[in-house]
Structure 1
């Protein structure tokens, strides 16, 4: 099997020595080529090249941002040898994800261990046994996502965290907590919800303050603890949505407490939840922060979301 390992050299939990160990381990099972990303978006191009050159497996070493880029490269690749009538999972290379970032939500949602040595062992065993899983993806306008998207408050928090990291701060749960509190109390217009959710054949849900979209559960992790606004979300189904109609302190505190409980089931007059949705559009009266897979993409006024079933084969 021909495979390419796409490495983010800035991955936070690996070193050159650990990468060398990983390469030797993978070469015991596959014919391996190694490629390092050099800039943002480079992994997209590497994945497209892997499809064009007939690789059967793409392995990522990095965080969720690297995985997202590789997935987008695979899903948008063009090759004269591919049959467009086949489902993407049947015609594209399989994907294996070695956790190398700070959170690794996609890998952990697949059931892989958090640390890269243990994750590598699971992947090697799966390769030997031919074990794969087919997963669905989300599509936001023209960009795919693997586990989550956000429109509003959570995306604005990610923007704050990314700006702090560019100044040298380390990504920790406490950094996210401080960013969330600052954005909630100082950076949000909590009195005038501006988002509407439109679905084909359904009444519009308007005056929403913030929206979380999940392609699987959990939505994210706080250290070892999964955070599950929509605990029934699944790679095998459509998209799940949780929206808050207002960001008032009492109702928001209650919803957050429900989400962080051992059996999350957020409910209330200010909560809108939708399960297994095939498509919908978010429209806002003013620009809203927007993120995919924990990567801030800037402000948007409109985003169309679609569920893409049976999109990729994953080694896990």
Structure 2
């Protein structure tokens, strides 16, 4: 049997790896599989590389980078058009498998899969999975025509993502303290506090209106602040539909209380200000005015309407 063909997609700006450590990873993977290596050059390049790999019959795509790199690789895989021999099967078995070596600052997706935070240990888990043939089939979320692995959001959480990204562009390091300051700054800015602009529309249900922010999850946790998981929707799972939490008001006191509940050890956000929906197959978030929008921690500008869909059994992941 010929060796497995694999592509390693490397984000050279990955914050937790060096050129030397990447060489070690390449040698380790190359000892077991027929490995090609490509370095991303710009935004969107990882998606193009993964799409081409899938369309040329590669068996495995390995992502080395943060959650943004993973998101691009997943979108490249999910929008590929493999050869006719692969048609007629589910996406998880029609497409190459995915492996993730964490190289970013937070690595939510890799940690949600149970992979170690250290890239060396994660690489060891992946190599063991390849030797044993171990994999997991997971579902994804889709927002309009773009896929996401663990989270999406409109309103407050996306605006916080924008603040963090702007701070990083100014040279700040992504830390728990930076994230918390961004949350506090956005809450106290007062934007959308008096007239919450969001609503949720579901097939066959009355709309939920007057919402200040919406957090959508495809797994738990939503993110981490250091070692602490933040859990708006602790029941979210790769094996079910999408979960969401919305706030009816962005008043400082009630928002602070909900954020505290999300960060507690036994997270269970609740109260008259909180709307939670579990295991949703489909819904649309509509805004009366443009709102910040993020997918997998990447700020994507402003939107007024986004259709969300759960995509079950979408990918095989080595973990």
**Partner residue of 2:95 out of 92, 97, 106:** 92
Deviations 1:158-183 (A, max 9, x none): 11111111111111111111111111
In the TM superposition, residue 105 of structure 1 has moved relative to its aligned partner by 0.3
TM-score (structure 1 length as normaliser): 0.99
| Alignment-derived partner of residue 30 in structure 2 | 27
Q: Does 1:71 align with 2:77?
A: no
Deviations 1:8-43 (A, max 9, x none): 000000000000000011011111000000000000
| Alignment-derived partner of residue 179 in structure 2 | 176
Q: Does the 8 A contact of 2:187 with 2:252 survive in 1?
A: no
| Alignment-derived partner of residue 290 in structure 1 | 293
Separation in structure 1 between the aligned mates of residue 94 and residue 258 of structure 2, nearest angstrom: 42
| Alignment-derived partner of residue 162 in structure 2 | 159
**Partner residue of 1:138 out of 101, 116, 141:** 141
**Partner residue of 2:314 out of 286, 311, 315:** 311
| Alignment-derived partner of residue 116 in structure 1 | 119
In the TM superposition, residue 189 of structure 1 has moved relative to its aligned partner by 2.1
Q: Does 1:235 align with 2:238?
A: yes
TM-score (structure 2 length as normaliser): 0.98
Q: Does 1:102 align with 2:112?
A: no
In the TM superposition, residue 82 of structure 1 has moved relative to its aligned partner by 4.9
Separation in structure 1 between the aligned mates of residue 239 and residue 254 of structure 2, nearest angstrom: 31
Q: Does the 8 A contact of 1:233 with 1:275 survive in 2?
A: yes
Separation in structure 1 between the aligned mates of residue 259 and residue 164 of structure 2, nearest angstrom: 19
| Alignment-derived partner of residue 271 in structure 2 | 268
3-state DSSP class of the match of 1:138? strand
Separation in structure 2 between the aligned mates of residue 273 and residue 23 of structure 1, nearest angstrom: 43
| Alignment-derived partner of residue 46 in structure 2 | 43
Separation in structure 2 between the aligned mates of residue 68 and residue 17 of structure 1, nearest angstrom: 25
Q: Does the 8 A contact of 2:188 with 2:252 survive in 1?
A: no
| Alignment-derived partner of residue 62 in structure 1 | 65
Separation in structure 1 between the aligned mates of residue 292 and residue 193 of structure 2, nearest angstrom: 14
Deviations 1:185-218 (A, max 9, x none): 1152211101010000011000000000000000
Q: CA RMSD in A?
A: 0.9
- Count how many residue pairs are aligned between Structure 1 and Structure 2: 316
In the TM superposition, residue 83 of structure 1 has moved relative to its aligned partner by 3.6
Unaligned stretches of 5+ residues in structure 1 = none
**Partner residue of 2:253 out of 226, 250, 254:** 250
In the TM superposition, residue 90 of structure 1 has moved relative to its aligned partner by 1.0
Q: Does the 8 A contact of 1:82 with 1:91 survive in 2?
A: no
Unaligned stretches of 5+ residues in structure 2 = none
